[in-house]
Amino acid sequence: MVENSSYDVVIVGGGFTGLTAAYDLTKAGRKVAVLEADSRPGGLAGTFAFTDGVRIEKFYHHWHNHDLNVPELVRELGMDGDVVTLPTNTGMFFNGRLWRLSTPLDLLRFDALSLFDRCRLGWLVFKVRRIKDWRAIEHLSIREWLEPLVGKQVYKIVWEPLITAKFSIYADAVNAVWMWKKLVLRGSTRNDKGEEELAYFKGGFGRLAEALVNAIRMGGGEVYFETKATDAVVKNQTICAMKTSHGEFAARQYIFTPAFPIIARILQNSSDQDWLASLQQVNYLANICLVLRLKQGLSNTYWLNVNDPGFPFVGVIEHTNLDAPEHYKDSHVAFLSRYLAKEDPVWSYSDQQYFEFSLAHLKRMFPKLDRSWVIEYNVWRADYAQPVTERGYSQYVPGRKTPFDNAHISTMAQIYPEDRGTNYAIREGREIAAVVESQLAAEA
């Protein structure tokens, strides 16, 4: 039990934004406490252990070869030898078969589209690079922007199934900037052979998060697990202390990094009801991720988009086609990801129900798959996995400032126009740490 402990900064959330902010602030000599509700660090990039101790992320993770923030942090922690950069195989499951789509030549062979439409699809990456100001397309939905560029047939076969699977009930509401940024980033990850290259951290991102925790503690900071922030003690729009499941934590400054609805619940004592309402204006989708550990691989494809209608997941990510099976005691690991509204009946499935439900669909894709291949499985859920960036998002997404004179927020919903990702979480953590450090220095 921690009662009335006093810190320079209390940070709510032990994902990469919160941990990076704490790391930078401890380097600046500040006394920092991180409060994390889970039993391990990393947030959505946190890891779990299979029954034999082999660890892996709960939700699939990698970063792109042009990302700067992850490798910079890894170097600072003296772990740059633990980064692996590899070409990856990508593909699409469409019309009952698997299509390889890793190189420009693969695209030319994709005869589910006419030759003309294949050329239109190939030229798309050059068209999107011509857009320099994303605000010019923010008023458009993905369909309204993309369909005129590639044509109705390309949109229907290639993009519509993925957008529908990704954004569920919000598929027609997401603005074009989200897709534009994805296309720009994916186009810039190709090597000189036209292959996409991705990077991974040996042992998983959870191991990197644990290294951050160690660095914070070595710097004099503290990280508390299974410590859920429940309320704030507020006086005259100043936060005096953070109430948690393990007592109160007092600080001069506070940083909140969870999803907006969670922050709104914690800071419900704010007298600014308009600000609280603005946090609720951003919609989120949940995610269910089935992690399969298999005796055999499903294919040689790392990232397989599922474009056939009627399948319950947006993609099959076969992790051991990026990070070799020998790192997982010669077993194969696949992630099956499904984004959904929590009102969807599937959200209420038990873990076993969801496994059986998904396995039946997976066998439609891979007929040779047998239940005996499954060594074990885990099902992970995230209530607020994906912020929904609707039309005009930049005009209504809340900024970092709060009605409290000693509190800021920094979340994955605020990295726009980028989409959520560990690289940007680290960037945001460094930026919010600099803001808070400046404010602390001004108070001295």
* Structure-token pair, residue 297: 């691989």
Q: What share of the chain is helix, strand, coil (3-state, %, to 5)?
A: 40, 25, 35
> What tens digit of pLDDT does each residue of 318-340 get?
999 999 999 999 999 999 999 99
- Under the banding of pLDDT at 50, 70 and 90, the label for residue 284 is very high
| Cα–Cα distance for residue pair 349/45, rounded to 1 Å | 23
Residue 420: name the closest of 34, 20, 44 by CA. Answer: 44
Q: Name the average pLDDT for the chain.
A: 92
**What are the residue ranges spanned by the domains of the chain?**
2-61+204-283+389-443, 64-73+79-86+197-202+284-387, 103-194
Tokens of 128: 């999107």
Q: What is the pLDDT of residue 3?
A: 47
For residue 130, pLDDT beyond 50: yes
The CATH architecture that domain 2-61+204-283+389-443 belongs to is 3-Layer(bba) Sandwich (3.50)
Instruction: Tell me the per-residue pLDDT of 133-154, one tens digit each, with 9 for 90 and over.
Output: 999 999 999 999 999 999 999 9
Q: What pLDDT was estimated at residue 189? A: 53
Q: Is the pLDDT of residue 4 over 70?
A: no
- 440 close to 252: Cβ distance less than 8 angstroms: yes
| pLDDT at residue 187 tops 60 | no
Could you give the 3-state DSSP secondary structure of residue 247? strand
| pLDDT tens digits for range 63-96 | 887 788 998 999 999 998 888 888 888 999 998 9
Which bin fits 377, alpha (ψ -120 to 50), beta or left (φ > 0)?
beta
Tell me the C-alpha to C-alpha distance, in Å, between residue 269 and each of 194, 236, 240, 266, 287.
54, 11, 12, 8, 29
Q: How far apart are CA 430 and CA 229, in angstroms?
A: 22
Q: What CATH number does the domain located at 64-73+79-86+197-202+284-387 have?
A: 3.90.660.20
Taking 80 as the threshold, does the pLDDT of residue 191 lie above it?
no
* Structural class in CATH, domain 103-194: mainly alpha
Q: What is the pTM of this model?
A: 0.93
pLDDT value of residue 1 = 38
- Annotate 80-102 with three-state secondary structure: HHHEEEEEECEEEEECCEEEECC
pLDDT band at 349 (very low <50, low <70, confident <90, very high): very high
CA distances from 175 to 22, 265, 318, 347, 384 (A): 33, 27, 29, 25, 19
Question: Which segment, 84-88, 124-128, 293-297, is predicted with the most confidence on average?
Answer: 293-297
DSSP 279-291: HHTS-EEEEEEEE
